[in-house]
């Protein structure tokens, strides 16, 4: 029995057959996706090589008595594109965190009654004590801003990403 | 109209092999997806040390997928003869 050549079986002249994807085409699509994943990993590798360890400047962000208990102050650190939130959780306790949710970068806000940070976008909750995730889709804790006290000034001195 | 006949045993075996290879490619791809998201999450958390092993593992998985595709291609050609 005479059979059509392979290319004719693969490329049908009937438009109704065009919607069918054969196994080989599907395998090719999966392999191309797999190569795409590899390229993505290479991109992460190159990015990790090119990114230098950030140097954090010392910057005065507030006066000690400026914020009442339960009050907050917004500031930017280390650049103007990095919004942060300073909170007086108790009389002698001040904490500061990045205000960007580690899920999709929505701004978190402080809820004094529960001592938590809440992300209103997807209901992510972080502990105000150490920034760890309490609930919701975020996988990483809020980066903590390291604070120093110099006289009456509160100084931002670095960022702790919160994971060992 | 020609009646439908079951495929010959060689072709049936070939199809089974191809289906198995496709399933394996899909599993490897899912592992690669997980690897990519986990590495990105790790990089965003400030850990760079995972990037190199992850890229090597992803490359090996991509090579395995390509090898399986080559297998599918060979079997496909064989059963169509």
Q: Which residues of B touch A41 (CB under 8 A)?
A: 32, 35-36, 39, 51, 54-55, 58-59
Say what the pLDDT of residue A164 is.
46
What pLDDT, in 10s, does the model give residues B7-58? 677 777 888 888 899 999 999 999 999 999 999 988 877 778 889 999 999 9
What pLDDT, in 10s, does the model give residues A65-80? 888 998 999 999 988 8
- Do residues A98 and A41 share a domain? no
- Do residues A24 and A77 share a domain? no
Whole-prediction pTM value?
A: 0.65
Instruction: Give me the phi and psi of A82, to 5 degrees please.
Output: -115, 85
Residue A122: inside a domain: yes
- Do residues A80 and A142 share a domain? yes
Q: How many domains does chain A have?
A: 2
- Do residues A155 and A80 share a domain? yes
Structural domain boundaries in chain B: 28-80
Q: Which residues of B touch A54 (CB under 8 A)?
A: none
Could you tell me the residue range of the domain that residue A42 belongs to?
A: 6-50
* Token duo for residue A15: 């438009």
Of B21, B52, B62, the CB nearest to A37: B62
* Contact status, residue B32 vs residue B25, Cβ threshold 8 Å: no
Give the CB-side neighbour count of residue B59, counting CA atoms within 13 A: 9
Say what the pLDDT of residue A19 is.
60
- Do residues A17 and A36 share a domain? yes
Question: What span, in angstroms and rounded, lies between the C-alpha atoms of B19 and B25?
Answer: 10
- Does the beta carbon of B61 lie under 8 angstroms from any beta carbon of chain A? yes
Residue A1: inside a domain: no
Question: What span, in angstroms and rounded, lies between the C-alpha atoms of A34 and B47?
Answer: 24
Say what the pLDDT of residue B77 is.
81
Q: Note the helical H segments in chain B.
A: 9-44, 51-80
- Does the beta carbon of B43 lie under 8 angstroms from any beta carbon of chain A? yes
What pLDDT, in 10s, does the model give residues A29-45? 999 999 999 999 999 99
Q: Which residues of A touch B35 (CB under 8 A)?
A: 37, 41
Q: Tell me, what's the ipTM?
A: 0.85
Q: Which residues of B touch A34 (CB under 8 A)?
A: 25, 28-29, 32, 61-62, 65-66
- Do residues A111 and A79 share a domain? yes
Distance to chain B for A127, nearest Cα, Å: 17
B47 CB contacts (<8 Å, ≥6 apart)? A163
Nearest chain B residue (CA) to A45: B51
- Does the beta carbon of B3 lie under 8 angstroms from any beta carbon of chain A? no
Pairwise CB contact (< 8 Å): B58 & A48: no
- Do residues A38 and A73 share a domain? no
Rounded (10°) CA dihedral B35, B39, B42, B43: -170
């Amino acid at each position: 029995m005479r059979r059509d050549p392979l290319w004719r079986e693969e490329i049908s002249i009937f438009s109704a057959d065009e919607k069918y994807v054969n196994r080989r085409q599907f395998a090719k699509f999966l392999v191309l996706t797999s190569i795409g994943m590899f390229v993505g990993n290479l991109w992460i590798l190159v990015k990790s090589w090119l990114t230098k360890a950030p140097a954090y400047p010392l910057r005065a962000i507030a006066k000690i008595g400026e914020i009442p208990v339960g009050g907050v102050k917004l500031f930017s650190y280390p650049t103007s594109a990095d919004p942060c939130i300073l909170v007086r959780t108790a009389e002698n306790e001040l904490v500061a965190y990045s205000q960007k949710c580690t899920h999709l970068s929505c701004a978190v806000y402080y809820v004094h009654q529960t001592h938590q940070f809440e992300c209103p976008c997807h209901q992510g909750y972080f502990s105000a004590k150490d920034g760890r995730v309490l609930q919701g889709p975020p996988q990483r804790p809020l980066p903590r801003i390291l604070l120093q006290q110099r006289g009456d000034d509160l100084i931002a001195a670095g960022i702790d990403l919160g994971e060992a | 109209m020609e009646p439908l006949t079951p495929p010959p045993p060689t072709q049936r075996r070939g199809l089974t092999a191809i289906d198995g290879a496709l399933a394996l490619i899909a599993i490897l791809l899912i592992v690669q997806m997980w690897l990519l998201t986990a590495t990105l999450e790790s990089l965003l958390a400030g850990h760079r040390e995972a990037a190199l092993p992850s890229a090597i593992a992803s490359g090996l998985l991509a090579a395995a997928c390509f090898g399986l595709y080559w297998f599918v291609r060979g079997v496909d050609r064989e059963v169509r003869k």
